[in-house]
Structure 1
Amino acid sequence: MKKTIPFSLLALLLYLAAACSTPKQRVPEQTASYTPASQELYDTIARMDSVMFDAFNKQDPDKLKEVFSEDLEFYHDKGGVTDYAQTMENFRTLFERNRDTGLRRDLVKGSLEVYPIVGFGAVEICLHRFCHQENGQDDCGTFKNIMLWQQKDGKWKVTRVISYDH
């Protein structure tokens, strides 16, 4: 006679198997629909984000200096808080260690949100994916990011960064 597993036990086993098998890389998804309050502001911050990370991907610390304010505060859940000088030094060190690893940052499509801050500039919220080669394999992670952009004297610069969920 063939033994059968009761449905509730089978459901429990499937649940436990799913809970215990975590994929190596999870990519969070945007949960709510988003419509920018100002398409012009959204496009401006999207362009500035692109300028910043084009410089990052080209490992160009001099160009990165142009998009960060000298009163920068950079909050990182694993690295703590750094100011402008420390952050620029961290970029230089990161680039030196990753000259040949293909280090790059890409904005996760559909994750960018931009909100105006009256009299100051904007807040950018997004997911970004960082990848590099390690031991011949892609090593990638998707992380959360918040940046405060200030518009001053006709220029946009990042004054605060919160990078988290590493």
Structure 2
Amino acid sequence: MRHSFVVFLLLSALTGTTARAQSTPRKAELAKPLPAAAPKPLIKDELYQTVARLDTEMFAAFNAHDADKLMSYFADNVEFYHDKGGLSNFAQTKEGFARLFAQSPDISRTLVPGTLEVFPVKDYGAMHIATQRFCHIENGRQDCGNSKFVMVWQQQAGTWRITRVVSYDH
């Protein structure tokens, strides 16, 4: 049972409403339009291209297992939230990458095509949302898995750094 469903049941119990599990949304629910104020991802504009380039560069460093280069994309005050590993700061994140590279010397990451979304953050930078795929050899076989992430990039004086990461659905 997924955690969100358990939370839903708990909230339903606390508010006195009855929870009913549905395996698929009703057609009427699927036909509902998104609220007019819902932000739309910026496709193929300058901000999108900048973040796409940063993603490519940063994960080239990841795939090269260059922890120092990889960490140059993170702000000193980064907060990295991982659904399995918890919260880590800059030093803990760097240690985690170094440990990962040592334990899985063949690990690689790719961006799942078509999943990149970029949203501006007024007077700050951008949100970078996508699905990524990590692969490595385990017990003599290729082992791959997808996870989702949100990165918040801050732009200061033309330099982009990640200040927040939320990595989930592992």
Fold match by TM threshold 0.5: yes
Does structure 1 residue 56 correspond to structure 2 residue 62?
yes
Q: Number of paired residues?
A: 133
Task: Kindly provide the CA deviation profile for residues 7-36 of structure 1, in whole angstroms up to 9, marking residues without a partner as x.
Answer: xxxxxxxxxxxxxxxxxxxxxxxxx9x651
Q: Which has the higher contact order (CA 8 A, sep 6+)?
A: 1
Give the secondary structure class of the aligned counterpart of 1:47: helix
Matches for 1:5-154 after TM superposition, within 5 Å: 36=42, 39-99=45-105, 102-154=106-158
Task: Kindly provide the CA deviation profile for residues 114-149 of structure 1, in whole angstroms up to 9, marking residues without a partner as x.
Answer: 000010000010000000001111111001100000
Conservation of the 8 A alpha-carbon contact between 1:37 and 1:115: no
Instruction: After the TM superposition, list the runs of 4 or more consecutive aligned residues in structure 1 that deviate by more than 4 angstroms.
Output: none
- C-alpha separation in 2, matches of 1:94 and 1:61: 10
Where structure 2 has 5 or more consecutive residues not aligned to the other structure, the ranges are: 1-33, 35-39
TM-score (norm 1): 0.76
Conservation of the 8 A alpha-carbon contact between 1:61 and 1:92: yes
Equivalent of 1:155 in 151, 159, 167: 159
Percent identity between the two aligned chains: 51
- C-alpha separation in 1, matches of 2:139 and 2:149: 27
Q: Which residue of 1 aligns with 2:18?
A: none
| Alignment-mate amino acid for residue 42 of structure 1 | Y
Where structure 1 has 5 or more consecutive residues not aligned to the other structure, the ranges are: 1-31
RMSD (Å) for aligned C-alpha atoms: 1.7
Conservation of the 8 A alpha-carbon contact between 1:37 and 1:116: no
TM-score (norm 2): 0.75
Conservation of the 8 A alpha-carbon contact between 1:36 and 1:113: yes
Give the secondary structure class of the aligned counterpart of 2:57: helix
| Alignment-mate amino acid for residue 63 of structure 1 | K
